[in-house]
Amino acid sequence: MPELPEVEAVARALRPLVKGQRIRCLHVFHAVALKPQMPAETARIVEDRYVRNVFREGKYLFLGLDRGLLEMHFRFDGQLIWFSNAIELLARANAEEGGVHVDVALEFGKGVLGFADPRHFGRVHAWESEQACPPLKKLGMDALAEGFSAKELHARLARSKRPLKEFLLDQTRIAGIGNIYSNEALWHARLNPWRRADSLDRKKSAQLHKAIVYVLRRALECCERPAPDFRDPKWWFQGLEEILRAYQRAGSPCGRCGRPIVRAEQGGRSTYYCKRCQK
């Protein structure tokens, strides 16, 4: 699932393509991507509107319009595909030969942006304003926001009795961290995923804060080299596995002590950690 670094890289690559452009038409191939909204409602909000900005909050991507807002959430496999024009879109979208899966597409004066998720978990929603957008109301502080300091993290940890891993996955507390980077941040901070959030003193909270910021920024650097190529339907982020120290490394030696990384179930998700290093 794309997390903060991946979505931020997508936002930065998409911004110069669509900023300032008018949405001429909304093409809907699989209406499930818009649920619970109806296609007509989404079209009413976005068509004939100009894209004023492209930004990210947590794991959500937003197109800020001159009136209204378009929200995208990629879930597990969602991605963006760029077509040169509507003719190419209609010729290739979901075609049996030489086609690509497309759920929804935004036709601009120059180019077409397609949203695709073959498993149909990803969603595209339109809102009359930022104030009307539910995710923006519910999301906690973004993990790369200026206000996300060690002091702020400690205050939020102190108010929770949940295990650290579950705390980091809670988007209403800290937004943008998913299963991959929660595992990585806890490994770097040498903290046990099952340790209670409110058990961390200021020093340990500062260690975790430093680890979170480091892991996310390092991953973002990786996600931008190379930058997302929306014109290639097979494009995906390359090289991320080279910077991972815990996630999906069960059985591999810990980079600090050499003891094998362990995989365990936690809250319905896979947790990877070192039993010796992470206390």
Active-site annotation holder among 12, 269, 275, 276: 269
DSSP 175: E
Question: pLDDT tens, 253-279?
Answer: 999 999 999 999 999 999 999 999 999
For CA atoms 247, 250, 253, 257, the dihedral sign is positive
> What's this model's pTM, rounded to 2 decimal places?
0.96
CA distance 139 to 145: 12
Task: Please list, in sequence order, all residues whose beta carbon lies within 8 angstroms of the beta carbon of residue 73, skipping any fewer than 6 positions away.
Answer: 59, 60, 61, 122, 123, 135
How many C-beta atoms lie closer than 10 Å to residue 36's C-beta?
7
Q: 143: helix, coil or strand?
A: coil
Q: How far apart are the first and last CA of the chain?
A: 27
Q: How far apart are CA 15 and CA 143, in angstroms?
A: 21
Encoding tokens for residue 123?
A: 């969603």
Q: Which of 3, 57, 166, 184 is catalytic?
A: 3
**Contact partners, residue 175, CB within 8 Å, separation at least 6:** 4, 57, 58, 59, 139, 140, 141, 142, 143
pLDDT score, position 238? 86
151 among known catalytic residues: no
Task: Establish whether 59 is a catalytic residue.
Answer: yes
Q: What's the confidence (pLDDT) of residue 239?
A: 86
Region 68-80: mean pLDDT is: 95
Structural tokens at position 209:
């804060």
pLDDT band at residue 215 using 50, 70 and 90 as cut-offs:
very high
Which is catalytic among the residues 49, 56, 59, 173? Answer: 59
* 91-100 mean pLDDT: 92
Kind and range of the H or E element at 222? helix 202-223
* Closest by CA position to 59, among listed 169, 155, 156, 148: 169
Q: pLDDT tens, 133-191?
A: 999 999 999 999 999 999 999 999 999 999 999 999 999 999 999 999 999 999 999 99
| DSSP code at position 101 | -
Residue 1 has pLDDT above 90, yes or no: no
Under a CB-based contact definition with an 8 Å cutoff, are residues 57 and 136 in contact? yes
Reply yes or no on whether the pLDDT at 34 is more than 90: yes
Q: Whole-angstrom Cα distance, residue 142 to residue 122? A: 21
The confidence score (pLDDT) of residue 98 equals 83
Residues 62-67: contacts with CB under 8 Å, at least 24 apart: 62/133, 63/18, 64/130, 65/23, 67/128
Q: Is 3 a catalytic residue?
A: yes
Q: Are strands 112-116 and 104-108 parallel, antiparallel or unpaired?
A: antiparallel
- Check if 242 is active-site: no
Domains of the chain plus CATH, in order, are 4-138 (3.20.190.10), 141-273 (1.10.8.50)
Nearest to 222 by CA among 63, 33, 4: 4
Pairing of strands 269-273, 104-108: unpaired
What is the DSSP code (8-state) at residue 236? -
